[in-house]
Structure 1
């Protein structure tokens, strides 16, 4: 009890997970504590967090999980019989291992807090996986837990541990090792043997090894059953020494850079159930020997530059096959007998081929749940559409499908049908559909059949994601949105849709992403959209919408894109209350008035803290985490060009108010937005000086103030923006010399032209007046004016006056000198008189 309470002290427990850990109850009754029925001693602690994605939220919620420190040595020593420890999927930040042993002690140099050493324990099972924020700098403590049989460190940062293999091989009883996605980089290629005498499971996938397979891997005990090395930047030919691991059941080498032919000796693995070779650089044909793997359940040879013919000979003996992936950039030829009936019933199938027709045996498969066909050309008959209606998830992308889907009923839960050249009108959706993407096809007609069909109102719809962008749809947006209240994302951009935005869209209270860009919509944005409290992305660029910018848009909005419309009026101050705003794009409208100074209060732009989850939406699927990830996308103008942002959208922060009628000065408060990457205020009527506070925007990469009425000098602080890659200050009334500094001098004259009184490099106009003025003063190395040159000129002038007065006094006080001086002056007068008369005679 004492040890457990000490462990609790190092843990931050905001949601009361450990609320039952109190002295008022027997510790064997505490949540997550397991005790022996015989000795009543603590034998296990299991406190995994159920940090799954909650209700399609835009980020993973771990606020209810445990955080703080894992005081591992305290648990292992005080709980002498601890056998099982599971802290999976929490949010722990540090690992402590610092118990002092009575005998020899060693400095373990742990992640954030460690001092000495610990004796061996009885722990057999240790699972710290999915603590994403946990960083462990060293694994030197592992040998002190010599009893370990199961070790799972998946998704823990071990990037600073270069000798991980040496520490792990000192666990003589280890049978299960999972170090997937741990940012490991060293595979110890020089090592011949690794002391894994009992290892049965090894996963090193999703690391960055960038090397060939190490020799020690082939010398593992023949008892290893599962070997996972996917997505680890491995390369080279597959060595035949892999056959040393003759007991292998699972071999996953997909998503690497292996090349050469697929070895035919792979067919000698008698017990192999999983063979994943997809997403590599394997060439040549698929060896028929793979058909000898009679125990095979999963075969993946997709996304390789394979050639040749695939026939029933490659698959005839694979009676246990459930998952099959064969595809190769339209270079594989399928030559199956049209009457062949496979000995298997597949659950997952991925195909990519160059034949004009689908293989006939496809229609014999009655158990397929996931069907993927890509980069192929075939005719889709009614038989095909009826077949896929029984499939749970279909993904047909990048194909040339000859078929009209006007009256097709789509019944699958997840449907990807983008980029297939599909024709006709929109299909019909059943109530089973949760996700549908029909983007980038040649679909035409209006939206009524899909949204307002007779079957829609009679059934409860569960659709979360609808994408029919990049088609030729016409007509209005319909007014049937009350039937689709479950929608989270609606993408209707780049069509020929017209009319007004219907007020019924305000009934989509769960809506997070709404894209209506590049259509012919007109009128004002309906006030009913204020009911979309969860809206994060609102994109209506390139339409004919009018009226004022709504002041009721959700405060949670992260991206607001209204560019290229007919909006008028002033910028509403309510925008300043959008504390999550990352992208504000209101360019190319008729907005007037001053820029609100309160824009400097937008919290997310004050701090530069981009998150990987910010523009991501979740919906149910059947992948590893049981959720489908959807990254939003936007087309933005920055650095003088149009760029598409999708998976990297969360890294972008932008304010674009260009091409409006904004006037007045640029508020200095705006330059407190130090997280901003792109700022465009060009083509307005802004006046006044550029505030010196612009130097605060240290992360700025793109700045455009061109075609305004800005005056005064360019502030010296602008030259301190070291990340600035694009600058346009042209066509203003700026004056003086362009500030010195490598950053500003690196831009071309196009960044400064159109400012008549601006001078200095890179312009050809020299700063003469500026040089004359500065000839009277000196500037030191820090840019401060020096008084040395000023006093030098004062002394020079004083010396001249004193010398002149001295000569005059000498002449007037000395008689002889006075006579000589006057005689000289008289002679000079006579010579000048004669010279003038002689030169004037020729004109008489």
Structure 2
């Protein structure tokens, strides 16, 4: 019998080996068994009941990589992959089978991690019948569904009272449960959590929890819960009206990236009373009273509510969370001042309030947060002056961000901070950059935007930037000559800074070179052809909207890692070289230059090419053949001739087809319905881009393409289904297959020589937002079904040969400009009245002039017939109107 820490425990020795002690001791009414592992511990075998439970779980699992290949009845389950047993009873205490996926340096934006080797199929709660299971980790797998226990809650309660609750999955020993990042797993209820009375860690991040699920009640049923991670679960209800939650032990709460819309709920602070009636900001309660009133308030150490739609002021009583180390409320809609009470949280390490609507001065007492390592308040509407006084006590600071249009930076130029930062983000800096930035020798990430500050002396600044891994300068007024500047950061993002001169030099370490919208001039030759090695890492080259001139160099073979090239809106000339064939290239923007000649055949071999923009040049020849991965093809405003090739129909992923303002002739191919992406507006890959992973950070690059739609040429982040064949010499009738593209959103066939009528099949284009058929030779009547195109906003049928009455319908009530120069067209909004309307008005006028006293029998019979005809016609019109309106209503609801 031995005493330790006031607790008595007994040491027993095994008869077989007196050197192997078995220890029993009591602590907080729980019994803990501990057995030092013996050399012959392999004699302990797996419990048969546990083995059968694991095998039942395996039945619903698809195992493409054979991770469970050792799970065989003839083998001891304690030796199975991922399974761990205790050494006393042979009971399963741990199941650890997370799936490990590699983050490649470059992945498609819409592409999820490759989980083809991960466990998939059905996750069964049968596992919770493992009575001694303490640790369960199946995170980052690819489970699709969850199998719930079939027993009713009442029956489970009965079994619980009869000590047979394990039949319902009452794994009361489970401490750790992680099912996070099973992105396709849909969970309809969380009632099963109530059986896990000892659970301390729960992570369901990335799992789709049904929006109506009562996650709050289920979570509060776990009295021992220390950490709750429910980020990115598509939750909508944060229960703002509830004032108390039974989170008696909670230390970490992560509800980031959900869809919460409310003010900050008071249940976060475990108050058993109505907190709205307590004013803690004025210290109305004595310290001892606070301890009694807020018994559990001090346990929370991490609170992350970022990326939601939370609003209202940040409450003062957050300052009472005296053990809080991480507070992240960024990317919400919080307003009002930053509470001064936050300065009372002496334990705070991270304070992240970026991207809200906060205003007022930076509270002086934030300087009391001497442990602070992260202070991020950029992207708000703060006012006042920030100087070294605000930062003097932050000796541990590593990350700092601050930007507001009305905030003034006023630092002593001789001040040397007590900290060494890794990351700085500043905005709206006036006059000069704070001199203390140059003392930060550990700095790796620098972001400065929307600033009128002088960066001089520029030599000093560019030399300082060579230590950075990431530099982002955007919308500043640097006005610097880049001709002799060496750029060596992995990410160089220098957009709209009025940089001028010739090309800078770059080191082989540069992965992203983004110099868009500056005043750079001269040839690309020094950048691409001087001192180039085969070790370069460049993936993104964006020099659009500058004043570059000369020919497109022939040095592209040295840049085989390039994925995106954007040289649009410059003064480049000459032919496009064959060497621009790059196997990794996905985006090529050469539009709005002065290129001429034919498109090189080598582009066809760019099999990964997604977007090709050659518009607004002087290119000629036929429409080029391209790889089948193309999603956006912009060839408008060139000199292409010949027919539209039928090969275009093999581009099944095509969403943007712009051949406008060329010299194309002949008919439209009748195979366009083979472009499958245009059959639906719900394509999974409308947002086109990729993610670059670096050590410690990643960069998402979304590529846009300018589309002329609804009369404006705009850049759309999500590609639309667009066909623009305007201003060519195309002829013939529009093939009926064109009207099978049910996902088409914009169609422009204007300024051609098309003939024929608009068929009834145009009613299939339910997603159409803009259609322009003007200045052709179309004829016939306008189909009434066009009135059912609910999303139509732009319509132009002018300068054709349409006849008859313009159909009635809210969607066709455009101005007369939509219909002018169709001589035989009549009806509103045109002033020309249709003949049938004139006859109807004349007959009505004559009927009013008749004298009832002069009516003969013939006229009586005539009016009787007219009356019967009117009744029949009225009911016909009424029934038709009801049917038509019902159809419109259903379309609208859909």
| Bucket of the pairwise TM-score, normalised by the shorter protein | 0.7 to 0.9
Which region of structure 1 is more displaced relative to structure 2, 147-156 or 6-15?
Answer: 6-15
Which residue number in structure 1 is paired with residue 392 of structure 2? Answer: 316
Q: CA deviation at 1:783?
A: 8.1
1:720-749 deviation digits (Å, cap 9, x = unpaired) = 3222222222221222233344433x2222
CA distance in 1, matches of 2:74, 2:556: 56
2:715 is the alignment partner of 1:644 = yes
Q: CA deviation at 1:105?
A: 4.7
2:106 is the alignment partner of 1:56 = yes
SS at match of 1:76: helix
2:519 is aligned, of 434, 438, 442, to 442
**Contact 2:131/2:170 (<8 A) preserved:** no
Which residue number in structure 2 is paired with residue 757 of structure 1? Answer: 824
**Contact 1:67/1:93 (<8 A) preserved:** no
Q: CA RMSD in A?
A: 2.8
CA distance in 2, matches of 1:21, 1:574: 52
2:353 is the alignment partner of 1:277 = yes
1:357-390 deviation digits (Å, cap 9, x = unpaired) = 2222212111111111112222241111011111
CA distance in 2, matches of 1:50, 1:660: 54
Q: CA deviation at 1:69?
A: 5.0
1:312-335 deviation digits (Å, cap 9, x = unpaired) = 221222111111112222x33333
SS at match of 2:324: coil
Q: 1:747 to 1:63 in 2, by over 3 A?
A: farther
1:683 is aligned, of 751, 759, 765, to 751
CA distance in 1, matches of 2:359, 2:269: 24
Which residue number in structure 1 is paired with residue 257 of structure 2? Answer: 206
**Contact 1:51/1:90 (<8 A) preserved:** no
CA distance in 2, matches of 1:15, 1:764: 73
SS at match of 2:513: strand
Q: CA deviation at 1:52?
A: 5.1
1:75 is aligned, of 101, 117, 127, to 127
Aligned residue-pair number: 766
CA distance in 2, matches of 1:780, 1:565: 56
1:281-315 deviation digits (Å, cap 9, x = unpaired) = 23232233222211111111212222222222212
SS at match of 1:695: helix
Q: 1:351 to 1:18 in 2, by over 3 A?
A: same
Q: 1:141 to 1:781 in 2, by over 3 A?
A: farther
Q: CA deviation at 1:193?
A: 1.9
Q: CA deviation at 1:223?
A: 1.6
2:96 is aligned, of 16, 35, 46, to 46
CA distance in 2, matches of 1:570, 1:362: 60
Q: CA deviation at 1:764?
A: 2.9
SS at match of 1:60: coil
Q: CA deviation at 1:117?
A: 6.1
Which residue number in structure 2 is paired with residue 452 of structure 1? Answer: 529
Q: CA deviation at 1:785?
A: 13
Which residue number in structure 1 is paired with residue 468 of structure 2? Answer: 391
**Contact 1:124/1:148 (<8 A) preserved:** yes
Structural mapping, 1:653-668, within 5 Å: 653-668=721-736
Q: 1:683 to 1:374 in 2, by over 3 A?
A: same
Structural mapping, 1:545-694, within 5 Å: 545-551=619-625, 553-611=626-684, 614-622=687-695, 626-646=697-717, 648-649=718-719, 652-694=720-762
**Contact 1:101/1:118 (<8 A) preserved:** no
1:171 is aligned, of 195, 212, 222, to 222
Which residue number in structure 1 is paired with residue 433 of structure 2? Answer: 358
Q: 1:53 to 1:517 in 2, by over 3 A?
A: farther
Q: 1:101 to 1:715 in 2, by over 3 A?
A: closer
CA distance in 2, matches of 1:249, 1:627: 25
CA distance in 2, matches of 1:102, 1:320: 52
SS at match of 1:394: strand
Q: 1:398 to 1:622 in 2, by over 3 A?
A: farther
Structural mapping, 1:131-170, within 5 Å: 131-158=182-209, 160-161=211-212, 163-170=214-221
**Contact 1:262/1:284 (<8 A) preserved:** yes
**Contact 2:324/2:345 (<8 A) preserved:** yes
Which residue number in structure 2 is paired with residue 6 of structure 1? Answer: 56
2:471 is the alignment partner of 1:404 = no
Q: 1:542 to 1:300 in 2, by over 3 A?
A: same
Which residue number in structure 2 is paired with residue 290 of structure 1? Answer: 366
- TM-score under structure 2 length normalisation: 0.81
CA distance in 2, matches of 1:749, 1:460: 63
Which residue number in structure 2 is paired with residue 483 of structure 1? Answer: 558
Q: CA deviation at 1:225?
A: 0.9
Q: CA deviation at 1:203?
A: 1.2
Structural mapping, 1:377-388, within 5 Å: 377-380=453-456, 381-388=458-465
**Contact 2:104/2:693 (<8 A) preserved:** no
**Contact 1:499/1:520 (<8 A) preserved:** yes
2:416 is aligned, of 331, 338, 341, to 341
Which region of structure 1 is more displaced relative to structure 2, 666-675 or 754-763?
Answer: 754-763
**Contact 2:382/2:404 (<8 A) preserved:** yes
Structure 1's unaligned 5+ residue stretches are 108-115, 787-844
Q: 1:691 to 1:448 in 2, by over 3 A?
A: same
Which region of structure 1 is more displaced relative to structure 2, 483-492 or 271-280?
Answer: 271-280
SS at match of 1:576: helix
Q: 1:598 to 1:403 in 2, by over 3 A?
A: same
Q: CA deviation at 1:30?
A: 4.2
CA distance in 2, matches of 1:51, 1:715: 55
SS at match of 2:209: coil
Q: CA deviation at 1:348?
A: 1.0
Q: CA deviation at 1:17?
A: 4.9
CA distance in 2, matches of 1:632, 1:725: 26
Q: 1:783 to 1:373 in 2, by over 3 A?
A: same
CA distance in 2, matches of 1:529, 1:53: 29
Q: CA deviation at 1:715?
A: 2.5
**Contact 2:97/2:139 (<8 A) preserved:** yes
**Contact 1:706/1:732 (<8 A) preserved:** yes
1:379-431 deviation digits (Å, cap 9, x = unpaired) = 24111101111111111111111321111110000111111111111211110
SS at match of 1:528: helix
**Contact 1:379/1:402 (<8 A) preserved:** no
2:165 is the alignment partner of 1:90 = no
Structure 2's unaligned 5+ residue stretches are 1-50, 159-166, 271-295, 844-865, 881-894
Q: 1:27 to 1:576 in 2, by over 3 A?
A: farther
Q: CA deviation at 1:218?
A: 2.7
